[in-house]
Structure 1
């Protein structure tokens, strides 16, 4: 089989399937991407570069669509190069939304087009209007509607699609649900496994918490309202005052990965540090970490806080569960698909920092009583989200029409 993966941020959701397919000598695996870093053995990476960005004079509703078209054009050009070399894929599998899959049915009309459908945007009822302090206006509603344009083209054009959770598939128009299979990317439960009594030492950033008994952890690509960072930090301010031996470890970059940045140029980290008081000797910002160091954070966690708007579920929550963390998650649909309160984790109101602090203390005060939550969390991932089970199913899904 000849297969072409498409994702601007190599290898993203396709890391495991591309790696396995490339090990089979009967396959030829290509990966179209904008990212030059990182390699996978056996995968021929093909770099595409859009000719420009959307122009400032383009109507702001349409700029994401223009950028998607520009990415689609760039992919079309590398597809022409592959075709000239005699490479005509049997399958093209791409992430929908950024635009790389838009013109695949034109350049490779006989290829099976598979799309990874991560999110379909709605002005009301999910992430966009979740915070009552951020009401939407007519301009926002129109912009969000147009944002779905490249995704709708992919829904029409693709042969089959895949979404990682039922919550995420639910966001897509019901008339396309029959096209979309639900299957998570999978978590490597052999890698993300607990070490009872693990102590946290991160030598690369000179952090030694080996003598600390209470470690509260938080992980995110950025520090932003979409992942409840302001509410978490307000809860931390309360918690550190109440518990003089507790430490908090925040993993992630000081940036916004989802949603809007602050208009004055400040980061949310700066805003929270200015707004509330903290004992900074017990609040540790690690930045992004290599996987091996990130794993150590999870293994040493007393309680792991995961907050999210009704949006895409993060890999980090399932990785933390696989590592045997006690999860304190937001009482929002993507989390509730996985966590049942008091069974395999705890749930809390997203907008209640005082209650978040209280529930963290509930875990810290009763570590033995809460031990079953760790066991059940890992069992949940092993039963439903284990890479060892899902990866063969994913490969079979890719192959099923060939």
Structure 2
């Protein structure tokens, strides 16, 4: 089968699906041809032909704010269209196009490859009420900017108007879309490598060193992970909870993994990073020899911290759940999660974790202390976290569901049927007369 994948940052969400298709080719040579259209980057995968398009120039600041998302998405749509024409000129015609609708590259591919089905990733539908916007009263959005939020849905709406196929990884993400649109979007729960992300009881028997952090077997490790340290992931709530946690538990050390950039939301009005802002607010109340800002760490160190964690804090506005939450559950972490639908789809209170109000730092501190003090409860919830991951987050199940949906769309199996084994002719036994 011929696949055209599209994502601005190869391989994006498609690493594991691509590996599955590569495995098909190893077992059955020439089963799939894999082409991936992307902006230039240094990533490569054997057996995947990468085709790049030029990143469009930035949109002029003079353009009205509400129209900037639309302008950039249409530029990307044209770049994607031109890239598709080059692929077509080389004689390649996909049987299916699989890609992320977030930036617009796929909007005009129906013109380049008419009749070819498109399976698009629908990540999030922006709203003024009920999701991330104005969730946190500490950082209200001015009413004058509401139009720009609605403008961010221009790509979503144009993609839905293609009347093709869609998928999203959680019920919560699907629910953000209008009722009329949800019928186009299939939920395919994303999985993690349960063999790589698994509990390691031995990790508590020896010291663990990551960067400037060393945690001994006698100490308790509280972990926090986000792509970047910012309010969307409850960083401010976590920092405000630390003074009480550290004061009441002298044996606690804290690791914070994440950068100082902005992934979601606005930068601090005061300037600088959110880490600097929160250290100015609460730094004098903290024993900073026990609080370690590790920045962005290699993946194996990230997993080592999760496996050693005594309490893993995952907070989020009503937005898209991070991969780290899935990994923490698979590693059997004692997860303390926020009470938003984003998190509670994964973390069930007192079944596989503890749930606490997202913006209440006093309640967060109380909940983390409970997790550290009640060993019997922690053991039960760790076991529940791993069981939830095995039942809902297995990579094999995720890939099998993805492949089944592709087969449903295209109308034929991804793999050729096994060859029929010719039946051996039956021989009659010779009967001799008595």
Per the TM superposition, whether the score is higher than 0.5 is yes
| Partner in structure 1 of residue 46 of structure 2 | 41
Q: Which moved more, 1:341-350 or 1:361-370?
A: 361-370
Shift of 1:117: 0.5
Aligned length: 402
Shift of 1:280: 1.3
Aligned partner (choices 119, 129, 140) of residue 145 of structure 2: 140
CA distance in 1, matches of 2:36, 2:208: 34
Aligned partner (choices 392, 400, 405) of residue 392 of structure 1: 400
Q: Is the contact made by 1:19 and 1:43 (CA closer than 8 Å) also made in structure 2?
A: no
TM-score by length of 2: 0.89
Aligned partner (choices 269, 277, 280) of residue 275 of structure 2: 269
Q: Is the contact made by 1:254 and 1:269 (CA closer than 8 Å) also made in structure 2?
A: yes
CA distance in 2, matches of 1:330, 1:267: 23
Q: Which moved more, 1:129-138 or 1:54-63?
A: 129-138
TM-score by length of 1: 0.96
Matches within 5 A, 1:330-349: 330-349=338-357
Aligned partner (choices 331, 335, 359) of residue 323 of structure 1: 331
Shift of 1:201: 5.9
Matches within 5 A, 1:149-160: 149-160=154-165
Question: In the TM superposition, what whole-angstrom CA distance separates every residue of 1:34-60 from its partner, at most 9, and x where no partner exists?
Answer: 241222221111122234111121111
Q: Which has the larger radius of gyration?
A: 2
CA distance in 1, matches of 2:199, 2:402: 26
CA distance in 1, matches of 2:111, 2:275: 46
CA distance in 1, matches of 2:143, 2:111: 35
Q: Is the contact made by 1:90 and 1:110 (CA closer than 8 Å) also made in structure 2?
A: no
Shift of 1:138: 3.0
Shift of 1:381: 1.2
1:237 aligns with 2:243: yes
Q: 1:32 to 1:203 in 2, by over 3 A?
A: farther
* Structure 2 residue ranges without an equivalent (≥5): 411-434
CA distance in 1, matches of 2:241, 2:212: 26
CA distance in 2, matches of 1:314, 1:57: 34
Shift of 1:263: 2.6
Question: In the TM superposition, what whole-angstrom CA distance separates every residue of 1:194-217 from its partner, at most 9, and x where no partner exists?
Answer: 001414766662532234520000
Aligned partner (choices 189, 193, 197) of residue 194 of structure 2: 189
CA distance in 2, matches of 1:134, 1:312: 19
| Partner in structure 1 of residue 427 of structure 2 | none
CA distance in 1, matches of 2:316, 2:53: 33
Question: What is the alpha-carbon root mean square deviation over aligned residues?
Answer: 1.5
Aligned partner (choices 191, 209, 232) of residue 226 of structure 1: 232
Q: Is the contact made by 1:113 and 1:158 (CA closer than 8 Å) also made in structure 2?
A: no
* Structure 1 residue ranges without an equivalent (≥5): none
| Partner in structure 2 of residue 90 of structure 1 | 95
- Secondary structure (helix, strand or coil) at the match of 1:401 reads helix
CA distance in 2, matches of 1:137, 1:263: 14
1:251 aligns with 2:257: yes
1:122 aligns with 2:127: yes
CA distance in 2, matches of 1:355, 1:204: 29
Aligned partner (choices 349, 355, 370) of residue 362 of structure 1: 370
- Secondary structure (helix, strand or coil) at the match of 1:129 reads coil
